[in-house]
Chains A and B, each alone.
Chain A
Amino acid sequence: MDLSLSIITIFLPLLTFFVLGLLGMKMPKKTAGLIGTASMLVTTIVAYGVALNYFFNPDFMVGGVREAQLVFNETWLTMGENLKVSMGILVDPISAMMLIVISTISLMVHLYSLGYMHGEKGFQRYYAFLSLFTFSMLGLVVATNIFQMFIFFEMVGVSSYLLIGFYYQKHSAIAASKKAFIVTRFADLGFLIGIMLLAYYCDTFDFQTLMSNPGAIVGSSAGVTFLGCSAASWAMALIFIGGAGKSAMFPLHIWLPDAMEGPTPVSALIHAATMVVAGVFLVARMFPVYLATPEVLELITATGAVTALYAAIVACVQTDIKRVLAFSTISQIAFMFTALGVARPELHEGVGYMASMFHLFTHAMFKGLLFLCAGAIIHMVHSNEMDQMGNLRKYMPITHITFLIACLAIAGIPPFAGFFSKDEILVAAYENSTLWGVWMSVVAGLTAFYMFRLYYRIFWWSKPDYSHHTPHDCEWVMTLPLILLAVVSCLAGFIPFGHFVTWNGENYDIHLNWTVAGTSIAIALVGILVATVLYRKENSVPDRMADSVKGLYKAAYRRFYMDELYQFVTHKIIFGIICKSIAWFDHVIVDGTMNMLAHMTNNASYAIRKLQSGSIQFYVWVYFIGALLLGVVTFMLLI
């Protein structure tokens, strides 16, 4: 399919948004859902066509390098003489891959939601917002310049805000949506300042111009330092902060667990597979420029590694199944960031970059699957809490099998998809330094543990009271996406990913490094084994273990008090001190000065008013005194 058709993938969802948003309330719910899904199906077909054409058409290979194709690029806003913001479509390996990921997951979610959201108030609105999100996300990945990316960063932020707050009568949903928006906005502030610095030093937003001379920013800002770091490092680090906010990296991760207040399919689409990887995508897009500022890559590695460990520990003790999945998402995205951070062209041909993108791809599939399974379970059990579940394998066999496949994939057991991508990440980490290698291996083990803890708690453990109604597998619109995604999760690992996506467009063959792979399989198996021992049958061992390290357990359960810290800073310091004192200043000092001026004028007129008494006798008195004085003065002067 011709690449220029990719414009359909952008505008069809937008059109759907307008149709459903403006006319949705007038049409029956079913029609609205079908319109949304049908338009998404067309979008998916076109996206696949475009991506496959790009990957398999030899015309796009020039000298062994897969060249980026600029399909459209129209000036949208003229800023300075050279500075223009364009809107366009750039098809290159990562954007083509993202087209596939986004359209696949989005289609699955559209289909799934027909069943999941059945009978909800605002069904049409839900589909309108889903289309808006799909539009924004696709616009983000095909961005031709960093400013277009920023624009769509904001757009996905708003779509996410609207979808998290879908149940707008629930206080928790409103608070969560607000938190998500403000935290990511705060990160976008960093992104914006980074863009401003970049534009100042490079005088362009365009990705291709930036990539053609990745060292330009370092060169033109040479000698400018701030707090001991060069201006170029600051710019790139600030742009990374924008990505870290969207991708929920520590310490900006706090919005993601709360974002689970949204409908579960939304969590699958936005908060697991697509929007949260926007940050990874951003860093990958700018990767050559990041290579010019290696200290920022170190920062990215460190952030990724810390986040991966933190989120994995927290995920081990959460009891809300969506929260576990949320922290697992944070941890897995941190894996991708670490992979990018440790990637160097000289180390194993930049395998980290490829590994990161590969993991992004596989993770989107199996994490989307996990969320959709969780949605099916919640749909049946009407609760997010593990305690309300157990033994569900008997009641929901399809969900059980697909969930198990996804768990095996994320734990890194061959031949499921996660094994291959995670193995490449570990290879890249070991190449960079043993510290990061060991660190990430430990996190991989924890991943296996908490995922199987979740699995056993849901599908094994005890048998709760399902007497009022028996859970069962959902209707076909909900199970079909599960099956499809499970198939992808089984097979995606065998895609020769290095042939499609590498940091410089050259082909790269994936070789399994059996030392690393063997270790990681062994660690994963240990994790699974521990989980099996502890959680297969209902017992009191986990509780006793938790009691023995009560303080640590509680801290981890409360997510190491990060939310409380933010609460303190925002409510007590920003609202309580800064805002209140400014309001006081405004009321007392600024207003007070004006009122005081008014009072002074008033008082002065009252004082002067006394002279205008209207009493002729007083006037005469003053007149004579005056005349007398005048006479005396004249007399003195004459003498």
Chain B
Amino acid sequence: MDLTLLYYLVPSIIMFACGVYGFITRKNLIAILISLELMLNSIDINFVVFNRFLFPGQMEGMFFALFAIAIAAAETALAIAIVINIFRVAKSVDVQNLTKMKF
């Protein structure tokens, strides 16, 4: 059996949908962050897969995925830092409680 494009894309879409669902429904900032990572990673898979199947001779997709992973790591570190600080101030990481700056 051949591993066609579809075998990679379906899990990627499932991952992305899970990410979206999590992002919208979770109230915990950490969980939202995890969902966000899930979405990013599903996109990374897409980049790699499309590069591999559509333009086999080139490497731009691979590099782009690597670049995105690096950025995501940095961004996650920043986000975690913010979440920890929020927790220090508000004693909670529940988004619904964080209305201090709302008008």
Give me the interface of A with B, judged by CB distance under 8 Å: 614-617, 620-621, 624
Contact = CB atoms under 8 A, between A and B. Distances in A.
A93 B24 CA distance: 105
Contact of B20 (A615, A616, A624): A624
A617 B24 contact: yes
B42 to A, nearest CB: 14
A615 B95 contact: yes
Contact of A621 (B24, B32, B102): B24
Q: Which 7 residue pairs of A and B lie closest in terms of their CB atoms, listed nearest first?
A: A621-B24, A614-B102, A617-B24, A620-B24, A620-B23, A624-B20, A617-B23
Contacts of A616: 95
Interface in B62-103: 95, 99, 102
Most buried by B among A615, A617, A624: A617
14 contacts: A614-B99, A614-B102, A615-B95, A616-B95, A617-B23, A617-B24, A617-B25, A617-B32, A617-B95, A620-B20, A620-B23, A621-B24, A624-B20, A624-B24
A624 B23 CA distance: 11
A621 B99 CA distance: 19
B6 to A, nearest CB: 18
A614 B98 CA distance: 11
Contacts of A621: 24
Interface in B28-64: 32
A416 B98 CA distance: 108
A531 to B, nearest CB: 93
A615 B95 CA distance: 8
The A interface, classified by DSSP as helix, strand, loop or mixed, is helix
B102 to A, nearest CB: 5
Interface residues of B, number: 8
Contacts of A617: 23-25, 32, 95
A130 B102 CA distance: 76
Nearest to A615: B95
Given A620-B23, A621-B24, 8 more contacts: A614-B102, A617-B23, A617-B25, A617-B32, A617-B95, A620-B20, A624-B20, A624-B24
A343 B23 CA distance: 107
Contacts of B20: 620, 624
A617 B20 CA distance: 10
A613 to B, nearest CB: 9
Contacts of A614: 99, 102
Contacts of B23: 617, 620
Nearest to A619: B24
A615 to B, nearest CB: 7
Nearest to B96: A615
A620 B20 CA distance: 8
A626 to B, nearest CB: 13
B15 to A, nearest CB: 15
Nearest to A613: B102
Nearest to A614: B102
Interface string B10-33: 000000000010011100000010
A616 B27 CA distance: 11
A624 B24 CA distance: 10
B22 to A, nearest CB: 10
B14 to A, nearest CB: 15
Contacts of B102: 614
B90 to A, nearest CB: 16
Nearest to A622: B24
Contacts of A620: 20, 23-24
Contacts of A615: 95
Nearest to B102: A614
Contacts of B24: 617, 620-621, 624
